[in-house]
């Protein structure tokens, strides 16, 4: 049998190896590292190819491709969003992704991204809050206690110094699961019976629910002056979490406006409703929070550059951790024009 050439192999990070890698480095360390990587890439935002993600909608969910490139490296993520999956015993969100060398087009990494997406989403949320939340915020309401929730909680603890989390979910079992997973991690946890109870005394409100329809997780009267809202779950046409009146009195921060206007909370607003791009707050070209009484809203939908940063981070950890396998993925004949000959010789 002819052995594949060296270039045929692509490092592959399985779910098993991703879990080992995250636990070896430490969840909070990975979250903090990802904030650094995402912030670095947001600082060089104009360098990237940008496009709203390519979405294929069905009655029950969406499948999306999220590509970007910085001119040297190309990355994409495949991700789905199926709120009805949970009732079938399946996850709402699953993902995998790839990095490639722009110079040759050859892939340099293939990896699971379901866990990595939860990490990068939480890291992006905490990064936004670092720039936008009121100073000295210690209490966060966490509404929606599903797959993403623990990652959000730990990112806000590690990056923003959140000490207390008030949890609410329509399903009390989700809250119990989230609290059990977060036990002993240095956060005071309070289970709440209503969203109103959860937001009591919270300076940050995170909404991370899943419903494939316009939902109203927060109404205007629930949002007090000076609060920062981290809205994660409204990320698809027809799928929002906040009442429109909240948007009318919030300063709204987004990742990539052409995508957020289709998918985010601001799909409820006029096409020219003012927003600030988060990368501009980080570079100093835009202004973040202007006063202690302002309501700031991070209208998160998840953008390809965050996945690119996360892929780059994992790629950078391969040699150090050895937590990958080599996949024989690229057909690479010795004579590049003799693909057919390589096929025949394999018999
Ligand atoms: N913005 C981003 O970058 C990004 C990234 C990943 C996921 N998401 C979105 O985040 C959301 C959560 O994802 P997940 O993987 O945790 O989903 P999940 O299905 O595991 O959890 C969602 C939770 O929301 C709860 N819920 C539903 N309606 C509610 C309501 N009205 N009030 C309170 N709780 C309610 C459910 O009971 C469930 O526990 C999804 O909508 C997903 O599309 C966004």
Domain definitions of the chain by residue range: 6-115+305-345, 128-302
- Tell me the pairing of strands 204-207 and 139-143: parallel
Q: What is the pLDDT of residue 1?
A: 54
pTM score, two decimals?
A: 0.97
Taking the chain (347 residues) in runs of 10, the rounded mean pLDDT of each run is: 78 98 98 98 98 96 97 98 94 97 97 98 98 97 98 98 98 98 98 98 97 89 97 94 97 98 97 98 98 98 98 97 97 95 95
In angstroms, what CA-CA distances link 89 with 80, 86, 92? Answer: 15, 5, 10
Q: What is the pLDDT of residue 2?
A: 64
Which CATH number among 3.40.50.720, 3.30.70.330, 3.40.50.300, 2.60.40.1530 corresponds to the domain 128-302?
3.40.50.720
Topology adopted by domain 6-115+305-345: ornithine cyclodeaminase, domain 1 (3.30.1780)
Q: How many CA atoms lie within 13 A of 80 on its CB side?
A: 13
Q: Are 15 and 266 in contact (CB under 8 A)?
A: no
Q: Which residues contact 80 (CB under 8 A, 6 or more apart)?
A: 61, 62, 63, 64, 93, 94, 95
- Residues 193 and 138: their CA atoms lie apart, in Å, by 21
Q: How far is the CA of 211 from the centre of ligand 1 (A)?
A: 7
Instruction: Spell out where the chain has E strands.
Output: 9-13, 54-57, 62-69, 73-81, 95-101, 107-112, 139-143, 164-168, 188-191, 204-207, 228-231, 250-254, 276-277, 295-299, 325-328
Ligand 1 pocket test: which of 115, 209, 255, 300 has the largest number of ligand atoms within 8 Å of its C-beta? 209
3-class DSSP state of 188 = strand
Atom of ligand 1 nearest to the CA of 306: 3
In angstroms, what CA-CA distances link 335 with 19, 206, 347? Answer: 39, 55, 18
The alpha carbon of 134 is separated from its chain's Cα centroid by a whole number of angstroms, namely 22
Q: What is the pLDDT of residue 4?
A: 76
Q: How far is the CA of 15 from the centre of ligand 1 (A)?
A: 21
Q: How far is the CA of 102 from the centre of ligand 1 (A)?
A: 35
Q: Are 132 and 253 in contact (CB under 8 A)?
A: yes
Atom of ligand 1 nearest to the CA of 234: 41
């Amino acid at each position: 049998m002819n052995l594949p050439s060296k270039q045929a192999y692509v490092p592959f990070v399985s779910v098993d190896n991703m879990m080992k890698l995250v636990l070896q480095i430490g969840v909070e360390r990975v979250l903090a590292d990802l904030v650094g990587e995402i912030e670095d890439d947001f600082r060089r935002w104009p360098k990237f190819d940008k496009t709203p993600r390519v979405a294929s909608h069905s009655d029950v969910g969406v499948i999306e491709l999220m590509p970007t490139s910085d001119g040297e490296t190309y990355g994409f993520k495949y991700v789905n969003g199926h709120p009805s999956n949970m009732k079938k015993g399946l996850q709402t969100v699953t993902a995998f992704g790839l990095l490639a060398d722009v110079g040759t087009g050859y892939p340099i990494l293939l990896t699971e991204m379901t866990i990595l997406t939860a990490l990068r989403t939480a890291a992006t949320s905490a990064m936004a809050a670092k720039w936008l939340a009121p100073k000295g915020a210690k209490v966060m309401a966490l509404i929606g206690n599903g797959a993403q929730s623990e990652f959000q909680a730990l990112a806000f603890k590690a990056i923003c110094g959140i000490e207390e989390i008030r949890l609410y979910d329509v399903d009390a079992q989700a809250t119990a699961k989230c609290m059990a997973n977060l036990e002993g991690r240095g956060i005071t946890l309070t289970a709440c019976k209503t969203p109103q109870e959860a937001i009591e005394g919270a300076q940050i409100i995170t909404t991370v629910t899943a419903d494939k329809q316009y939902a109203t997780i927060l109404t205007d009267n629930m949002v007090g002056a000076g609060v920062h809202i981290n809205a994660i779950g409204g990320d698809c046409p027809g799928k929002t979490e906040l009442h429109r009146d909240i948007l009318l009195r919030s300063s709204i921060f987004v990742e990539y406006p052409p995508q957020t206007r289709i998918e985010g909370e601001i799909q409820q607003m006029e096409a020219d409703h003012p927003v600030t791009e988060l990368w501009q707050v980080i570079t100093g070209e835009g202004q973040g929070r202007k006063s202690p009484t302002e309501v700031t809203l991070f209208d998160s939908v998840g953008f390809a550059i965050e996945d690119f940063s996360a892929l780059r981070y994992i790629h950078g950890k391969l040699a150090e951790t050895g937590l990958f396998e080599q996949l024989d993925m690229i057909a690479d004949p010795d004579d590049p024009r003799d693909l057919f000959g390589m096929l025949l010789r394999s018999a």
